[in-house]
Amino acid sequence: MPVTTIEWLDNKVKLIDQTKLPGELVHLHIDQVEVLGEAIKKLRVRGAPAIGIAGAFGVLVGVQHFNGDDKGKFFSELDRAVTYLRGTRPTAVNLFWALERMRRTAEVNKEKTISQIKLLLFAEAQKIFFEDQETCRALGRHGAALIPNPATIITHCNTGALATADFGTALGVLFTAHTQGKKLHVFVDETRPLLQGARLNMWELMQEGIACTLICDNAAAFVMQRQKIDCCIVGADRIARNGDTANKIGTYSLAVNAQKHGVPFYVAAPISTIDFSLATGREIPIEQRAAEEITDGFGPEGLRRRTAPPNAVVYNPAFDVTPHELITAVITEAGVIRSPYGRHLPELQSRS
């Protein structure tokens, strides 16, 4: 059973504080929108699908304590929560998609009573949660068919149970292949600056008993040069209509190196990650994060040893965009999509 990263429990959002992993397993119990927003901004909860679920639960948190029968006030409270949560992170589209589902659920039921609307919002949030579980399972099955046996694989950033409501997207594919008895060895990029690979992928893979080796991001090319790598597999934060894919910074470098070495490069993501409104990846906004993630990234809080001079100028984009021509296939819950993405991805729009 995968670890439960996020769930709705006792009228609160219960989630693992992922910034504490792998050292400590700490759960947060959140019943204020601002606290949830802070958890999203600080990457206590992260991974595009999990952020979507956190957003939906965040809307519940925002309206559940609303008292009275002033529907105008109720809707302005709801709008306030949605607007605030939309602003927490700019790149992963699943957040906007989940918030829009919540907003629309209230909107189309606005003639109902406030307590009925609250119940319907609760049902919609749970639906988003359970749909993500089913999505992970279907995506895992489709993707596992692409994994040979035995297989040596490189991954980048965390895309496992900690990033979703189930066992993950890209890592879910590997968990499925492992369950099918395939013998895997996974090279795990540490994923600077926040080390989601070192801290989270290694933890998840070791718990499942899958052989894994931690490497620095900049060693992936050397690994591809010196040994047979069967594929790279990564997740996505936003996919444009033409297949261009925004994902954790370093994904593009890995894809360029995969192409150079003839290694298939797979993106595993639910259909909700596809932004059908964007023609190309150029239009995807790239989140810029604080310099301190790079310069003061490690060590116990308050005792961090700075790793750059004072006043160093830092450029810290959280994501990059991999052009579609470097992507061998996009693995979704509806199946494996191949080039030309500009034709095949839009066919999924009716299923989103």
> What is the set of active-site residues?
237
Count of residues touching a second copy (by CB under 8 A): 60
Check binding of 269 to a second copy (CB under 8 A).
no
- Closest to 154 (Cα-Cα) out of 22, 269, 251: 251
Distances (CA, A) of 146 to 134, 174, 271, 336: 19, 10, 19, 9
The correct pick among 111, 311, 350, 351 for binding a second copy (CB under 8 A) is 311
Check binding of 65 to a second copy (CB under 8 A).
no
The correct pick among 171, 250, 267, 324 for binding a second copy (CB under 8 A) is 250
Residues 4-23 that bind a second copy (CB under 8 A): 22-23
The correct pick among 199, 238, 241, 324 for binding a second copy (CB under 8 A) is 199
What's the gap between Cα 237 and its chain centre?
6
Tokens encoding 34: 């601002």
Give 284-310 as a DSSP string.
S---B--THHHHT-SSSTT-PPP-S-T
Check binding of 253 to a second copy (CB under 8 A).
yes
In the complex, least distance from residue 199 CB atom to a second copy, rounded to whole angstroms: 6
3-class secondary structure, 338: coil
Can you list the positions of beta strands (E) in 252-293? 265-268, 274-275
Closer CB to a second copy, 192 or 241, in the complex: 192
The correct pick among 257, 272, 328, 332 for binding a second copy (CB under 8 A) is 257
CB 248 within 8 A of CB 156: yes
Binding stretches for a second copy (CB under 8 A):
22-23, 187, 189-193, 195, 198-199, 202-203, 206, 211-223, 225, 249-250, 252-254, 256-257, 259-260, 291, 294-295, 297-300, 303-309, 311-317, 320-321
